[in-house]
Amino acid sequence: MLGGPVQNRDELLAAIAARLDRIEASGDPSSVLDPSALTEAGQLMAAVAGHSDPAAWGLAGWLHWQRYRALPAGQDESDLDAAVDLFTRCFIVGSGRIPAGLLPTIARKAFPAGVAILQQALQAADQDLTSAAVELWQRIVDATPTDSSRSAHSLNNLGGALHYRFEQAGSLDDLDAAIDARRSAAEIIPADDPEWASSMSNLAFSLRVRAARSGSADDLDAAIRAGVEAVRAAGSATRCRGS
């Protein structure tokens, strides 16, 4: 009989790790296809319910991922869904190894959490939370294909998190990185997209702040140009909506 909650968790972690080790050693997926493997994964998730436990999430995620890879098409959807869910939890907290092929999907799944953490950071004025938002948005940007429609949104959110951290801590490196992210977002979004105006406005704001700090005439000129483009684009969008 298994012991208390901590021992139960540790025994389950060891049992699942052993199954994964057997696959790595032999290439035989039978250790994860055995029905008892799902039982152990379910018990592990019950043991850590309500707690942040990336080690448990990651091992259970790999168990489901190996099952997904071994099962025939049509029988593997639930394991893929479970793996994505568990790896997304790991991705959000920045812990654990994740299958590279799943990263774009997981970045998309993590998007709402990134928005929520950034909003919490803005409301709480908590530097640790702001840094967590920066790190998460950087992971999302890195995992999002540049031709994805979410790429520019991710860059804009990263830029916002970096700019806010600059306001909190005063590091010019954060302000520089915020401008780079916002400039990259503006370059990706088509000029006739309604999002382009807000992207250019964000860029203009960060450039104005840096110009004020550094006295750079180039930054001020770039801020003015970006602001003019933002106003022009916003006006065009308003006329289109009114026509």
Residue 6 pLDDT: 45
3-state SS, residue 147: coil
CB 195 within 8 A of CB 238: no
Residue 148 pLDDT: 72
Task: Return left, alpha or beta for 126; rule: phi > 0 is left, psi -120 to 50 is alpha, else beta.
Answer: beta
State the burial class of residue 4 (Cβ atoms within 10 Å of its Cβ: 0-12, 13-18, 19+): exposed
Residue 115 pLDDT: 96
Residue 116 pLDDT: 96
Residue 236 pLDDT: 58
The top-level CATH class assigned to 110-243 is mainly alpha
Q: Which residues of 74-109 are buried (b: 16+ CB within 10 A; e: fewer)?
A: eebeebbebbbebbbbbbbeeebebbeebbebbbbb
Q: pTM for this structure?
A: 0.88
Residues 16 and 36: their CA atoms lie apart, in Å, by: 10
Residue 207 pLDDT: 96
Residue 86 pLDDT: 98
Task: Mark the ranges of the chain whose per-residue pLDDT is less than 50.
Answer: 1-6, 237-243
The string of pLDDT tens digits covering residues 151-170 is 999 999 999 999 999 999 99
Neighbours of 146 (CB within 10 A): 10
The string of pLDDT tens digits covering residues 78-96 is 999 999 999 999 999 999 8
Residues 233 and 202: their CA atoms lie apart, in Å, by: 13
Residue 2 pLDDT: 40
> Which residue ranges make up each domain of the chain?
1-98, 110-243
